Amino acid sequence: MMNKAAFLNSTGTSLAIQDAPLPHPEAHEVLIRNHAVAINPVDYKIQDTGALVSKWPYVLGEDIAGEVVEVGSGVTSLQKGDRVAAFALNIVTQNQANAGFQLYTTTAASMTSRIPDTVVFTDAVVFPLGLATAAGALFSTEYLGIDPPKASAPALPESKGKVILIWGGASSVGSCAIQLCAAAGLTVLTTTSTKNFEYAKDIGAAETFDYLDDAIVEKLVKAARGKEVVGAYDAISSESSLAACVNFLHAVGGGKLSLTLASTKLPDLPEGVKVVAGRLPLQGPHGGEPIWRQVWTDFLGTGLQNGKLKAKPDAHILGGGLERLQEGLDLVRKGVSAKKVVVELVK
């Protein structure tokens, strides 16, 4: 087995494809031969600014799907030959072996989920960072603290009268949030551009509103009337989306807003509105497993199997291997609409 990686040699340079060491799994890890990788906004942000890089050259990439080719000595949940989707955590570990934009990646077995045979790698790879981010923001007690869904059990009937606002339902993180909340039985109100109304309903939103509509807050408040609002999740976290979410919560009597970006400048908050800002929690409140990892383990494989989870946004596939990654980064930087840019590494 020979490895190659897409190296970022310094801030603002294009990716360079070169030979790379073949990583070997530590006791808690597996080695994955990547068949497909997906591109997230954080990848072009790192390329543009050098943020989160502790050492050059750096290898980007959080979302991988492929085949397990080697299993660490302490891993019992996965086997050689398993088809998986996994979260590559170089942004946290700063260990190149754990980066996604290469032919072979090692990652923790706890970040790796088996996928059904019916799901192709280019579909399964749309999830890792988006699903983990949404699940952390929705279900962690330090964020919205909503009861997570169980892939194998029906939604709790008492959730039906409860409403959540998910701002940015056509984004990758927002799409995961809609699907998770719908599976938890909540009534989901969301915002997209008009061309994505049907898309958002198809993945579980009860009602969709145009985020460019000047009267959007009034319309959202009307839609929530008579129901308990459990909070709002701003999967976009621009100053305007944040302000609209705050106004919505204030108008319905207060509540908690969870943000996908921790860096957004906060406005003066009205009484009763609390904002919790988005960093993927890596530990639970008592130092144990964070709740998103339970959702990840329970929901991804089983949810794909029983249809509770659809591989959305649809993959925009670039075939042809690591050489297409720079083009993919440029596409995401330009802006995508209800699409995940995916590079296929093995045909």
Rounded to an integer, what distance in angstroms lies between the CA atom of residue 114 and that of residue 82?
7
Q: Find out whether 164 and 122 touch, Cβ atoms under 8 Å.
A: no
Q: Which sign, positive or negative, has the C-alpha torsion 75, 78, 79, 84?
A: negative
Site string (5-24) toward ligand NAP, x via CB under 6 A: --------------------
Mark 215-249 as b/e (b = at least 16 C-beta within 10 Å): ebbebbbebbeebebbbbbbbbbeeebbebbbbbb
Which one of 23, 25, 41, 66 is in contact with ligand NAP (CB under 6 A)?
41
Q: Given the rule CB under 6 A, which of 108-116, 189-197, 217-225, 283-291 is the region that contacts ligand NAP?
A: 189-197
Q: Determine the residue type at 105.
A: T
40 binds ligand NAP per the rule CB under 6 A: yes
Q: Given the rule CB under 6 A, which of 115-123, 151-159, 285-293, 336-344 is the region that contacts ligand NAP?
A: 336-344
Rounded least distance, CB 191 to ligand NAP, Å: 5
Which one of 61, 168, 281, 328 is in contact with ligand NAP (CB under 6 A)?
168
261 binds ligand NAP per the rule CB under 6 A: yes
Which one of 278, 301, 303, 328 is in contact with ligand NAP (CB under 6 A)?
278
Which one of 3, 11, 95, 193 is in contact with ligand NAP (CB under 6 A)?
193
Rounded to an integer, what distance in angstroms lies between the CA atom of residue 277 and that of residue 256?
11
Rounded least distance, CB 208 to ligand NAP, Å: 9
Q: How far is CA 243 from CA 118, 136, 263, 265, in A?
A: 42, 22, 15, 10
Q: Find out whether 297 and 113 touch, Cβ atoms under 8 Å.
A: yes
Peptide bond into 57 cis (omega under 30): yes
Rounded least distance, CB 61 to ligand NAP, Å: 13
100 binds ligand NAP per the rule CB under 6 A: no
Rounded to an integer, what distance in angstroms lies between the CA atom of residue 287 and that of residue 73?
24
Cβ-based nearer residue to ligand NAP, 65 or 236? 236
Q: Given the rule CB under 6 A, which of 19-27, 108-116, 188-196, 282-290 is the region that contacts ligand NAP?
A: 188-196
Q: Given the rule CB under 6 A, which of 14-22, 129-137, 140-148, 301-309 is the region that contacts ligand NAP?
A: 129-137
337 binds ligand NAP per the rule CB under 6 A: yes
**Which one, of 214, 253, 220, lies nearest residue 234 by Cα?**
220
Cα-only R_g, the chain: 20
Query: Which residues are at the interface with ligand NAP (CB under 6 A)?
Result: 40-42, 129-130, 133, 167-168, 170-174, 191-193, 196, 211, 235-236, 238, 241, 260-261, 278-280, 336-338
